[in-house]
Structure formats: structure tokens, C-alpha cells
Amino acid sequence: MILKLIIASVLTGIISGFFITAYELIITFFTYFFFMGDPFKTIPTLPVWYLYLLPTVAIFVVNYLISKDKNIREYGVSEIADSIAQNRMILKVKTLFLKVLASALSLSTGFAVGTEGPSAGIGAMIAYQIHKYFKLPQMLIKMMISVGASSGIAAVFVSPITGMAFAVENIAYQFIKQYITYLILASVIAFAVSINYLDPISFVHSTGRHIDNEYLLANLMFIPFITAFVYFYLYLKQRLLHMVDLELFQKFSRYRNHIFALIGGSVVGTVLLIEPHAAFSGKEVVMHLINTKQSIPIYFIFAVIILRIIGTTVAIYSNAVGGIFLPLMSIGALIGYGFAELFSIVHFPVEPFYFAAIGAAVFMGVLMKLPLTAVVLAMETTFDYNVVIATGISVVLVEYLSNLYFHIRRRNATKAYKAPDKNSPAKVSEDNASKAEEA
């Protein structure tokens, strides 16, 4: 039995690595096809009407696909974990194909969502089929699906340790004691395949094991700075989009998806028109802007931050299919970079790439409630003790400060509510709103 599990894990890792690579290449192909080349170069040359029409048509197609199969809409990681725990995992090839298509359409037309959800689904489907092929015991279905989802995440992140930590905190925590060896095996092999074709996210400007105490003041000031943006992100959803979704569509619930599709297409079109780097998954922002040695204007940085926050929240409500790991990471990276530039203006020069790495890990870790993944991400992308220590301290304190006013739900980071007293009438209203939204 152990030999079968080892072989099954190896096959899951190999096949997942190639399928995730193909998924990323499909997104790239669609992007270049729709924008007639590299979007960051061609968008300024395209007609304004086209930039609005493309994402609008795409999101209507995505919503049509969702109407045919509601499982397409699930964002993947937390839903897979819940499905595994409740023995209601539905892994149909048709659903997976439509999910990949819907995700590719969402990402390639500019919606600010990530790739980890569909990637986890791809890995889970592969593992499920391998489980059937090897005729493994029924009791091992949960374990194999966890291994598959973990390998898919490790492959798409092109970071084995970050992928494993993310999978453990999201999916495999129930099975970690018994099956951690197989999770590691499949994740590492999937990473070994994908790294030959995909580029990992890495912050190249780091000092390694040297601890710079001169950054202590800047680190402390960065905590309230990034907390303010976390508040803004959550406030936008709670006070604007969440209010519209619950209150407005109580009367027009039949047209909810159509209206939000129009809103989503219009917002993405506007974002593409203003600044293309504020659209798409966010990996391009981290790779292109954060690792460049050229100085980036402060007004440009904060304009992209605001646009990305708006684009990410609207994309989720518009039913764009994907995850939010990379979008949140890119927002945090830009927040950190902008903070360093502002801090340098007042004659305290600090390395902007250093705070970009911290911001990327902290913003994602707080809003997705993944502190361990945040620390591991900081370590694996920089190998810098300054970044790791600052991330570990910041992610805990920022989460604490955020929870003073908001309740960030682990199940879905797009759902946040003001946290009233437990026995107050507002608490009852919040519970009702939660049920209404999850319905």
C-alpha cells in the first residue's frame, strides 16, 4: 500500500506539473490573442471601445458558463478544503474543463484574479483519477485530493515550500500528521516540472543573513501604514460592494449577475485604459515593477494600488473565476514599495524592494488569514532575514489591528464584516447578512 501511495504521489506531481504549465500557457495565449500582442505594449494602441467591450463580453460568457454549472464559480482552495471535509467533493472532467476556460477568460481579459483556485482544482482532479486507476481504498480519497490540490498550488506558485505551506493552512491541515510525506513528494515533483517552463516570483534585491538594525523605525512605521490599506480594502467591500449586493439585489436579485457583469466589464475597461499594470493577476506587477532598478513615481504607485484594490474586489463580485492570492500579493508589494519611497523623501532612505517583499507577504497573509504562508513566502522569495523577521512581526500585529474593526473570515477572504459585540442586535443582523451572502 505504501508503495502504491508513493507511486500515486509521484504521478500526481508529474502530471499536475505539466497540466498547470499548460493552464498558464493557455492564459498567456488568450491574453496575446485578445490584445493582439503583449497587452502592456498594445493596449495604448487599441480602440477605447474595444477595451470596454472585451472584458464585458468575457465576463458575460463566464457568467453563462456558471449558469450551466454552478461549481465553476467556486474559487477553489477553501471550497476544496470544505468539500473534502464534508465528503461532497464533485470532480467532473466537464466541470474542470469549464472552470479552466472561465478562469482563462477572466484572467486574459484583465480581471484581477489569481490562478491558485483552478490550479488546486486541476491537481485535485488528477489525483482523484489516479486514485480510481490504482483502486486505492475509499478512505484515502480525501488524502489523494489533498495531495493533488497541494501539488497544483506548488506548481502554479513555482515555489515548493510556499506551495506546501499554503496547502497545509488551506487544505491538508486535517491530514497533515498522517500524510505529510506524500504531500511533500507530490508538491516538490510538480514544482520540479513547472520550474522548467514557468517563472517563479522572486525579489532579487536582498541582503541575506545580515540584520540591519537601522530599519527598525521604518519597520514599526510600516505596520500602521499597511494596516490603513487593509482597512481601505475591507471597507470598500463592506460599505460599497457588499451593501450593493445585499440591499440593492434584494429587489433585483434576478438581474444580479448581469448588473455586476456590466459593472465588472466597465471597471476593467477603465483600469486597462488608465494603467494596464493595474489589471490581470498581478504577477506582472511584482515581476516587472518591483524588481526593476528604475525609480517609480510615487503618484504612479498609489494610482496602481487604488486601481488594483478596486479591480480585485469588483472582479470577485462579477464572478470572475480565479483566486486572490496573487492580486493581494501584488497590492501589498506596491504598498511596501510606495511606503519606502515616501519614507526616503523625509531623509530616511530605505530599500524599496525590501518593503515590497514585506508588503506582499503581509497584505496577502492578513487578508487570507495565512500567517505561516506569509512568513514562508517572505523567506522563499528573498532569503533575507530582515524580510522574514519583519514579516513575522507585521503579519501578526496587522491582523490584530484589522480585527479590531473587521472580522476577516478564513473561508473566503472576499467576505468581511464589521465586528460588533457578540450580544448586540447588530450581531444578529451580521449573521443574517452572512447567510444571505453565502446563499
Residue 348, pLDDT above cutoff 60: yes
Percent of the chain with pLDDT over 70: 77
Looking at the domain assignment, is residue 221 inside a domain?
yes
Q: According to the model, what pLDDT value does residue 188 have?
A: 84
Looking at the domain assignment, is residue 373 inside a domain?
yes
Residue 371, pLDDT above cutoff 50: yes
Whether residues 109 and 229 fall in one domain: no
Mean pLDDT across 95-110: 89
Class of residue 430 by CB neighbours under 10 A (exposed 0-12, middle 13-18, buried 19+): middle
Looking at the domain assignment, is residue 427 inside a domain?
no
Using CA of residue 389, residue 176, residue 14, residue 320, what is the dihedral sign? negative
Whether residues 217 and 182 fall in one domain: no
Whether residues 104 and 245 fall in one domain: no
Residue 172, pLDDT above cutoff 70: no
Whether residues 223 and 332 fall in one domain: yes
Domain CATH code at residue 285: 1.10.3080.10
Q: Which of the residue ranges 15-24, 68-77, 156-165, 178-187 would you say has the lowest mean pLDDT?
A: 68-77
Whether residues 140 and 257 fall in one domain: no
User: How far apart, in whole angstroms, are the C-alpha atoms of residue 409 and residue 49?
Assistant: 38
Whether residues 161 and 14 fall in one domain: yes
Using alpha carbons only, what angle is made at residue 91 by residues 85 and 92, rounded to the nearest 5 degrees? 160
Q: According to the model, what pLDDT value does residue 435 have?
A: 34
Chain segment 405-417, per-residue pLDDT in tens: 877 765 443 343 3
Q: According to the model, what pLDDT value does residue 251 have?
A: 66
Number of domains in the chain: 2
Q: What's this model's pTM, rounded to 2 decimal places?
A: 0.80
Chain segment 109-140, per-residue pLDDT in tens: 999 888 887 888 888 888 888 988 888 887 78
| Domain boundary, last residue among 138, 161, 194 | 194
Looking at the domain assignment, is residue 219 inside a domain?
yes
| Domain boundary, last residue among 163, 194, 225 | 194
User: How far apart, in whole angstroms, are the C-alpha atoms of residue 409 and residue 64?
Assistant: 28
Residue 163, pLDDT above cutoff 70: yes
Q: Which of the residue ranges 218-232, 301-315, 400-414 would you say has the lowest mean pLDDT?
A: 400-414
Q: Tell me the average pLDDT of the chain.
A: 79
* Residue partners of 323: CB distance under 8 A and separation at least 6: 75, 76, 77, 113, 114, 115, 116, 117, 118
Residue 30, pLDDT above cutoff 90: yes
Residue 226, pLDDT above cutoff 90: yes
Residue in the block written with cell 463580453: 57
Whether residues 176 and 230 fall in one domain: no
310: confidence class by pLDDT, cuts 50, 70, 90: confident
Q: According to the model, what pLDDT value does residue 416 have?
A: 37
Does 78 or 408 have the greater pLDDT score?
408
Residue 370, pLDDT above cutoff 90: no
* DSSP conformation letters of 88-102: -----HHHHHHHHHH
Residue 436, pLDDT above cutoff 60: no
Looking at the domain assignment, is residue 202 inside a domain?
no
Residue 257, pLDDT above cutoff 60: yes
Q: According to the model, what pLDDT value does residue 411 have?
A: 46
DSSP class of 249: G
Looking at the domain assignment, is residue 405 inside a domain?
yes
Class of residue 391 by CB neighbours under 10 A (exposed 0-12, middle 13-18, buried 19+): buried
First to last CA, the chain: 41
User: Which residue, among 339, 358, 246, has the nearest Cα to 298 in the 3D structure?
Assistant: 339
Whether residues 388 and 243 fall in one domain: yes
Whether residues 221 and 85 fall in one domain: no
Of 76-80, 284-288, 372-376, 394-398, highest mean pLDDT: 394-398
Looking at the domain assignment, is residue 199 inside a domain?
no
Looking at the domain assignment, is residue 203 inside a domain?
no
* Residue partners of 155: CB distance under 8 A and separation at least 6: 16, 17, 20, 21, 119, 123, 163, 190, 191, 193, 194, 198
Domain of residue 27: give its range: 2-194
Residue 312, pLDDT above cutoff 60: yes
Q: According to the model, what pLDDT value does residue 419 have?
A: 43
Whether residues 55 and 132 fall in one domain: yes
Whether residues 157 and 267 fall in one domain: no
Does 379 or 88 have the greater pLDDT score?
379
Residue 31, pLDDT above cutoff 90: yes
DSSP class of 369: T
Whether residues 274 and 301 fall in one domain: yes
